[in-house]
Amino acid sequence: MSETFAIKTEGLIKSYGSFQALYGVDLEVQKGEIFGFLGPNGAGKTTTIRCLLDTIHRNGGSVSVMGIDPLKDPVAVRALVGYLPGELSMEANQTGEKLFRYFNQLRGGKAEWDYIREMAKRLDLDIKRPVKTLSHGNKQKIGVIQAFMHRPELLILDEPTSGLDPLMQQEVLRLVEEAQSDGATIFFSSHIMGEIQAVADKVGIIRAGRIIEVAETSSLIGRSLNRATVRFKQSVDVASLANVQGVTVLGHDDGTSVTVQVEGEMDGLIKALAGFPVLDFETQRPSLEEIFLAYYKDGTD
Amino acid sequence: MNTIFRYTLSRSRGGILGWGIGMFLLGLMIVPVYSSFEGQGEMMEQLLDAFPPEMMAFFGEMSSLDTIEGFLEIEYFAILPLILGIYAITSGGGMIANDEENGTLDLVAAHPISRSSLFFGRFLSILTGILAILVLSWLGLVVPAQAMENVSLAGIGTPFLSLFSYILLFTTLALALSLLLPSKRITSMVVGIFMVADFFIQGFARLNTDLEAIADVLPLKFYQGTGWVTDRLNTSWFFGEIAVAVLLLLFAWWRFARRDIRVGGEGTWEFPLISKLRRGKVEVSGD
């Protein structure tokens, strides 16, 4: 039964001394899907991932990765997985190329150098430069390439787009989708809802060490939360905006500007604003914590 | 394991060469320094008489300073455990903790290698480094000493063999403690204090017989850097230190295999009590 799942955890518990990080996490990730693992900082995303790879040992529950218990055979699990850590650190004096050679040797030489060079080109990375001379974003690109380079059956990516500019973020998300097309399963953690929505088939939401919800990504789209600040050329009556579905007026300033919160699609607000002399329109993405507070007020806390 | 061994050795080759060449040059210099003292035994006697007995006690049999054997014992072999002990503490204490503290171990450990391969691959590279430094140190002394009478290559090798077991002991002690204590800094401090305390206790034990019981069980007691020309290697002491080092190594391996690889923000970088107190403080301040 568990062979249909790339990842399956039941009642996963992990403590660090007296601090309990995971309180019985249940997850099922089907083979071949992109699973978004969403949660604010400190929610337990990285701890869950590290239990999957057995770089930390679980205190309770069961874990199966590609049908193997990582506690019993961690080497076999890691051979099937490409991993990008959330806090990526690498030897500062080594070049990207040397690191790829080292990681490739640790994997028994499974990587294809043509594929490495192709990814480096797509991500605009010079692999001949020492890590210490690279920006945070370029270091992240090395991390991305080393995770993909041996075409693993399962990719576990902990905040893969962290530190990348928007264009490169899109390129990494394309790599993720291509890997899925090639048959890989992707377990992808993030604290950015939009990025999960862009690629994931299914989303698991974790908060304070507990899974709050596992849902199809499409069901989250209607729950997206945005904040918009609109400035007008002259004073207008913004009361009508409050009647638009999903829009809540948070504040306004003498009718020359208004800040609203929009649940779901922005279409209604945009159409309503068409009748106003808009000078400036600025959207802000609220923090995941704010989204959680909005949607999971009666949750586990 | 072979990949880990070669990579770790290549990464630390600069340090090994630095220490090895430094020790080689020290050996090259120390014999010519003796030559400049040779024949001035009477003046040396007068100088030594001027030192207080407490200070003399640290150097053992100072009256032998006017012979090459005595000179090397006092000016060279007596301080080698402290000098190379620093290397032992740094390399042993940092074998796992260095990469753990800078965050690189998490990614390496997520590759298909067992903890045992990672551990022993790295340890073998440290062992190779220690042997290389000791061989270079020995060569540094052998080259100038060849011109001297009563000094054999094997005779000079005896203290280096003894030094090997001593250094190995401190390397494995630092390694074992680095897997128990919250940070490499604390490990270095604890093992460093122990090593220096051992040095002082051995010295004071020559003045105060009450300290002999303690001195007799400390590692420096079993270091055979003195009496090396006439005495053969005390194999019981040598293999005794090696045995303790092996036990410490096995403990460290056992601990590493069962322990979490630490990354930032996990709260395992402090002593449990301090961590608890700090958390309590944060909760109070958060109210």
Query: pLDDT tens digits for B149-158?
Result: 666 777 778 8
Segments of chain B scoring below 70 in pLDDT: 37-42, 44-45, 48, 53-66, 147-151, 226-231, 264-287
Token look-up 């928007």 returns A166
Are residues A127 and A65 part of one domain?
yes
Q: Tell me, what DSSP letter sits at residue B73? A: I
Note whether A94 and A127 are same-domain residues.
yes
Residues A157 and A245 in one domain: no
| Distant-in-sequence, close-in-space partners of B68: CB < 8 Å, separation ≥ 6 | B31, B34, B38, B145, B148, B150, B151
How would you classify the pairing of strands A5-16 and A60-65? antiparallel
At B253, the amino acid letter reads: W
How far out from the chain centre does Cα A201 lie?
A: 13
- Contact: B267, A74; criterion CB under 8 Å: no
Domain count, chain A: 2
Contacts of B261 in chain A (CB under 8 A): 50, 55-56
Instruction: Give the Cα separation of B12 and B19 in Å (integer).
Output: 11
Coil vs helix vs strand at A236: coil
Asked if A128 and A233 sit in the same domain, the reply is: no
Q: Is residue A206 part of a domain?
A: yes
A155 and B CB contact within 8 Å: no
Q: For residue A58, how many other CB atoms are within 10 A of its CB? A: 23
Domain termination residue (choose one: A201, A221, A241): A221
Residues of B in Cβ contact (< 8 Å) with A146 = 107
Least confident of A107-111, A170-174, B39-43: B39-43
For residue range A45-73, list pLDDT tens digits in order. Answer: 999 999 999 999 999 999 999 999 999 99
Using the 8-state DSSP alphabet, how is residue A37 labeled? E
Determine which of A211-215, A246-250, B231-235 has the lowest per-residue pLDDT on average.
Answer: B231-235
Contacts A147 to B, Cβ<8 Å: none
Residue B16 structural domain:
2-286
pLDDT of residue A291: 65
Which chain A residue shows the shortest CA-CA distance from B270?
A17
In terms of residue numbers, what domain contains A92? Answer: 2-221
Does residue A195 sit in the same domain as residue A238?
no
Domain co-membership, A132 together with A237: no
Tokens encoding A162 = 């962290």
Structural domains of chain B, count = 1
Cβ <8 Å between B107 and A102: no
Which residue type occupies A184? A
Q: Residue A276 and residue B113: Cα distance in Å, rounded? A: 63
Mean pLDDT of A131-143: 91
Residue A147 pLDDT class (50, 70, 90 cuts): very high
On the question of pLDDT at A74 being above 90, the answer is yes
Return mean pLDDT, chain A: 86
* Structure confidence at residue A68 (pLDDT): 94
CA–CA gap between residue B181 and residue A133 (Å, rounded): 33
What does the block give as tokens for A181?
A: 């097309």
Which pLDDT score, from 0 to 100, does residue B102 have?
86
Pair A121, A253 in one domain: no
Q: How far is it, in rounded angstroms, from Cα B99 to Cα A51?
A: 20
Say if residue A202 is in the same domain as residue A285: no
In a domain, A300, yes or no: no
pLDDT tens, B132-155? Answer: 999 999 888 887 777 666 667 777
Task: Sort out which chain A residues have CB atoms less than 8 A from B101's CB and list them.
Answer: none
Chain B CB within 8 Å of residue A166 CB: no
